[in-house]
Amino acid sequence: MPQIINGKEISQQIKDELKLEVARLAKKGRRACLAVIQVGNDPASSVYVNNKKKACAYIGIESKSYELSKETSEEELISLVEKLNDDSQVNGILVQLPLPVHIDEDRIIRTISPDKDVDGFHPVSVGRLWIGEKGFLSCTPAGIIQLLKRSGITIEGKECVVIGRSNIVGKPMAALLLRENGTVTVAHSRTKDLKDITKRADILIVAVGKKKYITREYVREGAVVVDVGMHRDENGKLCGDVDYDDVAPVTSAITPVPGGVGPMTIAMLMDNCVETMRIREGKA
């Protein structure tokens, strides 16, 4: 029987630790405030934004909401972000993605001050990650590192294969595994003989964006499998990029969907918010 990596439990553990830390920092007069900007009212984005605000309230961080109409222009959004960059009461800025198509996401991401970039998407944060400097980490990959470590899985010296090279998951995942001394291979849509590569993996991270794509033919017996995917199956049930029922029996450990990687993203966003308080305390 594989070890089922419990993201719900681990994310709760992290939020509880952060709550204590926030209370300790608050006693010293430190505070954190996260500005959350949503443009338009896409229902999935509204759910994510609400969950982020709830998590802030739970750990004791103030959140300020900016709900803008979907007609908001790029320039209007830029000026709001610039205003928040200059606001000393705000230490983190989050712009919920995706943005309406008339707004250039990259331009918005680059406008957020790197010192308030709690999503870790700014090129300065990305650069810091790759050169091993302290900085805000992309939340989903940072959450996966926590899942592995807190489940007693060693990364150092392991053969790690990441399927996917997106800027928000695949690439930062590879950088973080490398930082943990894993030996890392990144596969993508032009990779030849994907199965031969994934079967080498001690730790296989799947962020391919395709429903139940990875079956047991891709997995070495005893591997650890982390499923980043998030989809609805033909019955409307949540499922991942990994065909869980087929793959789980050949693994030593696996993340389920839901309840695996998903809850970790918000927990690590909260960690980035607390990081802004730690930096102010001079301990980061």
Q: Return the number of the residue (107 or 210) whose C-beta is nearest ligand NAP.
A: 210
Is 106 assigned a catalytic role? no
Among the options 119, 202, 227, 271, which is catalytic? 119
Annotated binding residue 165: yes
Q: Return the number of the residue (39 or 268) whose C-beta is nearest ligand NAP.
A: 268
CB 135 to ligand NAP: min, Å: 19
- Position of tokens 């406008």? 111
Q: Return the number of the residue (72 or 198) whose C-beta is nearest ligand NAP.
A: 198
CB 57 to ligand NAP: min, Å: 20
Q: Return the number of the residue (79 or 189) whose C-beta is nearest ligand NAP.
A: 189
CB 216 to ligand NAP: min, Å: 16
DSSP string, the chain: --EE--HHHHHHHHHHHHHHHHHHHHHTT---EEEEEEES--HHHHHHHHHHHHHHHHHT-EEEEEEE-TT--HHHHHHHHHHHHH-TT--EEEEPSSPPTTS-HHHHHHHS-GGG-TT--SHHHHHHHHHT---PPPHHHHHHHHHHHHTT---TT-EEEEE---TTTHHHHHHHHHHTT-EEEEE-TT-SSHHHHHTT-SEEEE---STT-B-GGGS-TT-EEEE---EE-TTS-EE-SB-HHHHGGG-SEE--SSSSSHHHHHHHHHHHHHHHHHHHHT--
Residues in contact with ligand NAP by CB under 6 A are 140, 163-166, 168-170, 187-191, 194, 207-210, 228-230, 241, 261-262, 265
Is 241 assigned a catalytic role? no
Is 42 assigned a catalytic role? no
CB 144 to ligand NAP: min, Å: 9
Q: Return the active site residues.
A: 52, 96, 119
Task: Provide the annotated binding site for NADP(+).
Answer: 164-166
Which residues are documented as binding site?
164-166
